[in-house]
Amino acid sequence: MIILHDEDTLLHETVELLGSKLIPALESPARIKAIVQRIKESSKHDLRTITASEDDRATAIELAKATHSTDYLDHIRSVFKQWLEEGLVEEHESVLPECFRLQNSANTKFKPPKDTFARAGYYAFDMSTGISQNSWTSIVASANLAVQAAHLLLPYAGPTDATADGTSRPKSVLALCRPPGHHCTGSQAGGYCYINNIALTITTLRHFSPPAKKTRRASNPHFSSTSKLKFAILDLDFHHGNGTQEQFYNDPNVLYVSIHGEDEFPYYTGGAHETGPAAPDPAAGMNVNLPLATGSSFGAYMEKLKEALQTVRWFTADYLVVSLGFDTYHLDPLGKFDIHTENYKVMGWQVRSALTELPAAILLEGGYVIDQLGDNLLNFLQGWEVAEKGLDSLP
């Protein structure tokens, strides 16, 4: 498997409110370090460590504007420095929100507070998404991995001729995104997420796909896509991907399917009744939530997974994008399923054997048991690759 990594994703370090305690965020650089180390030790994969250039970073930000408002992205980029200049935070500390958007009858429209301190609450929905000195560097590096994963899957190369090589198109690629992406909305960070990497992969595939390529330039992207490409998103993180669901809820060309802990974070979304807009809207039924009771066994999980995969097959997408989280692991501090390391091999095999032909981008989301993350991922990839090679059974 081609695995994309950028060392700049290790720079973001922050704190979170967990229970009643402010602690170093469980979403830590050690997660990626552990994964990369295990990948290297296994020497079974094509690990590509890249560094986003200034051009790459600018392009990723432009493409992210299809999902996020410009003022939100500006805020995430600049808030730490503003707080620092106003003496609201020290260099080694993090920006954390105080007061969130408050619904009220007098003001139906929200607007950003003038006060620098107050604005942090306008652009966030929880207290697990702090912003520190280097967060923006990592956020954009993570986003760029999602963009580059898309480029590898395109039938022929995207923005530069140097990478044009129609023969080397891989069937699958994994991006070691950090921070993750599936919780943040168009203008609110949350659940350790700042830019929706999944949406970015889809935006990139749409934007640089061959028919569109002739009339659009990488330096001046615009998003009035007329492309009828179809995308299936399979979200396997323990938590419901509320941000991804929201992004594509009314889009008939994007199917979102998620298996997640029932009544768990982010608490207000993920119900099975959230199926998209009402018929006859063409996006009706294109959102499929499969909540699973906490404490569920791998057997119960597999039942849901088979249901999810049937739906994805029915949709006949052009691309598959997987939100892959390992917080489904039985020891995970934030997850509550009874899934063990060897189960991930079966999970990877099951997904890929149901969808062997679909070009697939796999993006990392959560997973917080540092010393098992690498093994869990390697198992998932082993199962996936066995299926991709068309072998019937696991070795």
Positions that interact with ligand Q9C (CB under 6 A):
18, 128, 180, 183, 191-193, 237, 239, 265, 325, 327, 334, 365-366
Shortest spacing between CB 248 and ligand Q9C, in angstroms: 18
The total number of residues written for the chain in this structure:
395
* Residue 385, contacted partner among ligand Q9C, Zn ion, none, CB below 5-8 A by kind: none
Q: Does 27 bind Zn ion (CB under 5 A)?
A: no
CA distances from 245 to 44, 178, 195, 272, 307 (A): 34, 20, 14, 12, 18
Shortest spacing between CB 152 and ligand Q9C, in angstroms: 23
Q: Does 327 bind Zn ion (CB under 5 A)?
A: yes
Question: Of the candidates 75, 178, 207, 239, which one interacts with Zn ion according to CB under 5 A?
Answer: 239
Nearer to ligand Q9C, 56 or 365 (CB): 365
Q: Does 237 bind Zn ion (CB under 5 A)?
A: yes
Nearer to Zn ion, 24 or 210 (CB): 24
Amino acid of residue 270: G
Number of residues that bind Zn ion (CB under 5 A): 6
Long-range contacts of 212-215 (CB under 8 A, 24+ apart): 213/158
Residues 6 or more apart whose Cβ sits within 8 Å of residue 154: 169, 205, 208, 209, 210
Nearer to ligand Q9C, 181 or 383 (CB): 181
Nearer to Zn ion, 56 or 237 (CB): 237
Nearer to ligand Q9C, 18 or 284 (CB): 18
Residue 353 contacts residue 312 (beta carbons within 8 Å):
no
Select the residue whose beta carbon is closest to ligand Q9C and give its number: 366
* Residue 128, contacted partner among ligand Q9C, Zn ion, none, CB below 5-8 A by kind: ligand Q9C
* Residue 192, contacted partner among ligand Q9C, Zn ion, none, CB below 5-8 A by kind: ligand Q9C
Q: What's the alpha-carbon Rg for the chain, to the nearest Å?
A: 20
CB atoms closer than 10 angstroms to residue 201: 31
Shortest spacing between CB 238 and ligand Q9C, in angstroms: 7
Shortest spacing between CB 377 and ligand Q9C, in angstroms: 15
Burial level of 30, CB count in 10 A (0-12/13-18/19+)?
A: middle
Q: Does 260 bind Zn ion (CB under 5 A)?
A: no
By C-alpha distance, which of 200, 206, 202, 254 is closest to 226? 206
Shortest spacing between CB 235 and Zn ion, in angstroms: 9
- Residues contributing to the site for Zn ion (CB under 5 A): 237-239, 325, 327, 366
